[in-house]
Amino acid sequence: MRSICYDKRKKRFPSYLLFVPVGLCLLIIWFIFQINSPKKSLEEFAYTGIDGLKRYEPEPNKMQMIILFSTRCTFCMSYLSQLNKHSDRLPDFQYGLFTTDRNLFQSVYYKNWDSLQNDSRISIGMLDVNISSYLFSDPPLPSTFLYNEDHELIKSLRGEVQIREIMDWIPDANHKKQKKGV
């Protein structure tokens, strides 16, 4: 009996082989995060504006803020209503408000965005699903992407964001009339 137990202990599983499945799992997780991350650099892209096909071209030496939303998302509409109400307090950026919804320009929400529609800094339109997926992955909505002057991603903010939270990620030189309670 003693020799049988001794033989079983001798055939132990090498502990270093445990690193192989753990390493493989970590590699898969890293790969998934890379796929679900927005591109690190903002490129120019096509979108459909109210007047037809347009191009969003990041202006040189100017920060950009891209917001992805859906007209069927309550949080998105609340966020955009807040931006519409306080658009005069937004810093001097180039803005893009984009959705993949085909009913954007017929929606009641769009018709109530007077400040956003009349602001020359803001582009509003519909993105093709493939362009949205390529540039911004498939984020939960609403999503805000902040890019620096070199068009590199600084921060992506998920969900409804307060304007003061956006201000925390902006370099001091770009602040414009920051007021309390925003």
Q: 9: pLDDT confidence band, cut at 50, 70 and 90?
A: low
Give pLDDT tens digits for 161-177.
877 777 777 766 444 44
Q: How far is CA 48 from CA 25, 70, 179, in A?
A: 41, 15, 34
Note the helical H segments in 57-124: 74-85, 108-111, 114-118
What fold, for 45-174?
A: Glutaredoxin (3.40.30)
Say how far apart CA 64 and CA 85 lie, in whole Å: 20
Q: What angle do CA 49, 40, 93 make, to 5 degrees?
A: 50
Residue 41 in tokens: 């650099």
Sheet with 122-126: strands ordered across = 52-56, 45-49, 122-126, 94-99, 64-68, 143-147, 153-158
Q: Where are the domains of the chain?
A: 45-174
155-177 burial by CB neighbour count: b if 16+ within 10 A, else e?
ebbeebbebeebbeebeeeeeee
**Nearest C-alpha neighbor of 89 from the set 1, 3, 175:** 175
Say how far apart CA 86 and CA 82 lie, in whole Å: 6
Question: What average pLDDT does the chain have?
Answer: 82
Q: What confidence score (pLDDT) does residue 178 get?
A: 46
Say how far apart CA 172 and CA 155 lie, in whole Å: 16
Q: Higher confidence at residue 160 or residue 95?
A: 95
Give pLDDT tens digits for 12-69.
667 777 777 888 777 777 666 555 567 788 999 999 999 999 999 999 999 999 999 9
Q: 149: pLDDT confidence band, cut at 50, 70 and 90?
A: very high
Cβ atoms of 135 and 39 within 8 Å: the answer is yes
The average pLDDT across 114-137 equals: 92
